[in-house]
Structure 1
Amino acid sequence: MFSVGEVDVKGLQRFENMLGALGAEAPKAVNRAINRTGDMARTQVVRTLAKQTGLPQKTIRKSVKVKRSSWDDLTYTLKSAGGDVALKYFQKRETKKGVVANLGAARGRVLFPRTFFRGGAFPRRVDLSAFGGHVMDRMSEQRFHLKKVKSGVFIPEEMVEGATADAFERSVQQNLPRRLDHEISRLLGL
């Protein structure tokens, strides 16, 4: 979980006098600046997390929930919940040895032996609509004794470590002072 209100941004003391001059309008200016900065940070988090995990940005965007800042609560929060992501959502291809999936920059391409998501004889195998794109592993010799295969990637864990956490903090530290200056100047008519 990330929160813009928790990131220490040095140099914001210079805005104290200007915020004092705004009076009751100050929370509105800070709220707009935090929300805009948070949206920019969210974009960076989604991009970086997609590279880090190997998942498409569309999937990451669905899993990252946003709680925007308000006049009363001046924090912008990014949350993600969920468990082990199924191989269905990764770039994958089927080989005779099993399914090979791209699990991001750190893990690279990983072979999952004896797994499949297509049916028929090689090389003319076809996607099986009954599986809905899921990768299956045969648990025994019985025909329908199958299990969905998971990737070992947990989006909430990946979100708070490594390049994604750095991208969030860097984006907030670069953009929040600039956005605050812009919103304050706009309200003061400068």
Structure 2
Amino acid sequence: MLTVTITGDGLRRFTQLSSELGSGKARSLYSRAINDTGAKAATATGRALSDQSGVSKKVGRKAVARRTRSNPATLAYEIRIKGGEIRLKYFSARETRKGVSAAPRNARQIFSGTFMCAGWWPKRVTKSNWNGQVFRRAGDKFHVVKSDVVLPTEATSGQTAETFDRGKNALDVRVSHYLRRLAGGALS
């Protein structure tokens, strides 16, 4: 709810403000407020996504990097979260005798039958071209092991969804801020 208090020559400034808002400046103002709020919500969502899923902040930031900004014609800000099933290497994977230990969703567990290094125990060798991937043997071939974490699905639940909702609820505050700036003291 917007409260208007008129002081001094505020009526003249308020009349001028009303004509400016009717002339298309309002859509520009709303677009700016939407972009500010959307950028903050996207940043907070990326952080919450990385905390919830267990991936690094860098991976969370990259997953939320696709945004469509608002303009006066559309007045819409779109955040798209990209990513499929994430490989175990992104969850602080390390090899143990029983298999690889990794922490998807920040819950460390052992994935038995998986490996990251070549050779026999205790003389394991790290292969530089394996890039820290986690593998499972299937016959004569190795297959990269993936977790069950899918970032777009993770973004719709839990802490990440709550963070996004808090971000979009801040739009009223930004619109009021820009209206007060445009009014030049006519509104409080």
Shorter-chain TM band: 0.7 to 0.9
- 1:98 corresponds to which residue? 99
- 1:5 corresponds to which residue? none
The answer to whether the aligner puts 1:134 opposite 2:133 as a matched pair is yes
Q: How does 1:53-132 map to 2 (within 5 A)?
A: 53-64=53-64, 65-105=66-106, 108-123=107-122, 125-132=124-131
Please identify runs of 4+ aligned residues in structure 1 that moved more than 2 A: 17-21, 119-127
The RMSD of aligned alpha carbons is 2.2
Give the deviation of 1:21 after TM superposition: 5.4
Task: Could you tell me which runs of 5 or more consecutive residues in structure 1 were left unpaired when the two chains were aligned.
Answer: 1-10
The answer to whether the aligner puts 1:177 opposite 2:176 as a matched pair is no
Mark the CA change 1:116 to 1:73 in structure 2 (over 3 Å): closer, same or farther: same
Range that drifts further, 61-70 or 114-123:
114-123
Task: Could you tell me which runs of 5 or more consecutive residues in structure 2 were left unpaired when the two chains were aligned.
Answer: 4-13
The answer to whether the aligner puts 1:34 opposite 2:34 as a matched pair is yes
Greater strand share, structure number? 1
The answer to whether the aligner puts 1:163 opposite 2:164 as a matched pair is no
- 1:4 corresponds to which residue? none
Mark the CA change 1:120 to 1:26 in structure 2 (over 3 Å): closer, same or farther: same
- Conserved? CA contact 2:116–2:126, under 8 Å: yes
What SS does the aligned partner of 1:153 have? strand
Give the deviation of 1:120 after TM superposition: 3.7
What SS does the aligned partner of 1:127 have? coil
1:151 to 147, 152, 155: 147
The answer to whether the aligner puts 1:49 opposite 2:44 as a matched pair is no
Give the deviation of 1:20 after TM superposition: 7.0
- Conserved? CA contact 1:136–1:147, under 8 Å: yes
Give the deviation of 1:117 after TM superposition: 1.3
Cα distance in structure 2, aligned partners of 1:165 and 1:158: 9
- 1:3 corresponds to which residue? none
Count of residues in Structure 1 that have an aligned counterpart in Structure 2: 172
Amino acid aligned to 1:28: S
Give the deviation of 1:127 after TM superposition: 2.8
Cα distance in structure 1, aligned partners of 2:30 and 2:18: 9
1:30-75 CA-to-partner distances (Å, cap 9, x unmatched) read 1111111111111211111111100011112112221111111111
Give the deviation of 1:122 after TM superposition: 3.9
Identity of aligned residues (%): 38
Cα distance in structure 1, aligned partners of 2:179 and 2:121: 65
